Structure 1
Amino acid sequence: MKVKVFLHGYFSKFHEGPIEVIANTVAEAVALVTPQLPGFRPNAVRGRHRISVAGCDKVEDLYRPAKDGEIHLIPQFAGGKKGGYLQILLGVALVAVGWFAGIGWLVQAGALAFLGGVAQMLSPAPSSDDDQKKSHYLGAADNTVKIGTRIPFLYGEDLCGGHYLSFDTDAIITG
């Protein structure tokens, strides 16, 4: 089935106009288009591009034929977490009170609280690896890695810490 893939947002810089591919499902069309365009290659800072397909709200929708033979790829907005609303409301209230009372420092504090709430909403939430067991017996190692992490080879001179490739000891003291 012939499908037209339209790129929206900053994806439109990757290719002008629609891209025509022959695919049976939406996922197959996306898999055909994204490796072909250099703009979809992962970035060293941001990583892979997050793609949202218009009309596909569930994973099951990706494995159905495209509606009307068209697929619209949109950049997915990725924020951190849902927090920060209270801080934004507090900041707006402080700005309003400071403005009407004529207190300059209160307006500044409210503006900072507002911007901090916005930054909290947009920044990614940190992930914690509580289940990973770390050894405290080796001293202060510069690098800590999980099993399966790629280990780069360095050529020339560079200052970096080493990796312990095979060390997983749990000491249990019974007495």
Structure 2
Amino acid sequence: MKVKVFLHGYFAKFHPGPIEVNASTVAEAVALVTRQLPGFRPNAVRGRHRITVAGCEKIENLYRPAVGGEVHLIPQFAGGKSGGFLQILLGVALIAVGWFAGIGFLLQAGALIFLGGISQLLMPAPDAEDNEKKSRYLGAPKNTVEIGTRIPILYGEDLVGGHFLSFDTDAIVTG
């Protein structure tokens, strides 16, 4: 089925006008467009482009046919938490009070709080889940890796920790 893909925001610079592709799902249309256009290649500084597909709030919607035969790609806003707004307002207030009162310390403190709020907005939010598996049974610093990771071979003399090739113990308590 023919699908028209519209690029919005700074993506519009990558190709003029809509792009027509033959795709059965929204995900297939997005993959076809992003792999063909050189503007979607990963950047060495920013990494990959973050894309929002209009009308696809859930992942399941990406694997359905395009509604009305149209897909709209919008750049996704990246940033951290909303807590930076309060910090920015506090910084601006301290700068204003310091300016009118003639207190240099308040100007400096306000500027630092303001810049901290801006940097907090620009930082990505940390993941809630810690993907690193930690064991309570292994003490002291040692080199441990997941199953399937390549094992380097060292030549000469080097001081490295141990490497567990197989250590997976689960204790199930039933009561």
TM over 0.5: yes
Instruction: Identify the residue that residue 92 of structure 1 maps to in structure 2.
Output: 92
Q: How much does 1:47 deviate?
A: 4.4
Distance in structure 2 (CA, Å) of the matches to 1:161 and 1:132: 21
Q: Look up the equivalent residue of 1:116 and give its one-letter code.
A: G
State the AA in 2 paired with 1:113.
I
Alignment-derived partner of residue 133 in structure 1 = 134
Q: How far does residue 10 in structure 1 lie from its aligned partner after superposition?
A: 3.4
What is the alpha-carbon distance in structure 1 between the residues aligned to residue 34 and residue 131 of structure 2? 35
Who is 2:118 aligned against?
A: 118
What secondary structure, in the 3-state scheme, does the structure 1 residue paired with 2:108 have?
Answer: helix
Q: CA-atom RMSD, angstroms?
A: 3.7
For residue 167 of structure 2, what is the aligned residue in structure 1? 167
Deviation at 1:98, TM superposition (A): 0.9
| Deviations, residues 11-48 of structure 1 (Å, cap 9, x unaligned) | 33443443210223322311322223344344565444
Provide structure 1 residue ranges, at least 5 long, that are not aligned to the other structure: none
Partner of 2:73, secondary structure, is strand
- The TM-score with structure 1 as length reference comes to 0.70
CA, structure 1 residues 47+60, in 2 after alignment: closer, same or farther (shift >3 Å)? same
The within-5 A match list for 1:99-114 is 99-114=99-114
Unaligned runs of 5+ in 2: none
Assess, with a 3 A threshold, how the Cα gap between structure 1 residues 51 and 90 changes in structure 2: closer, same or farther. same
Percent of pairs identical after alignment?
68
| 1:135-171 Cα distance to aligned partner (Å, 9 max, x none) | 6746334x554x35754869999x9967544334689
The equivalent residue for 1:70 is 70
- Aligned residue number for residue 4 of structure 1: 4
The TM-score normalised by the length of structure 2 is 0.70
Change in Cα spacing, 1:133 to 1:61, as seen in structure 2 (3 Å) is: closer
In structure 1, distance between residues paired with 2:104 and 2:89: 19
| Equivalent position SS for 1:35 | helix
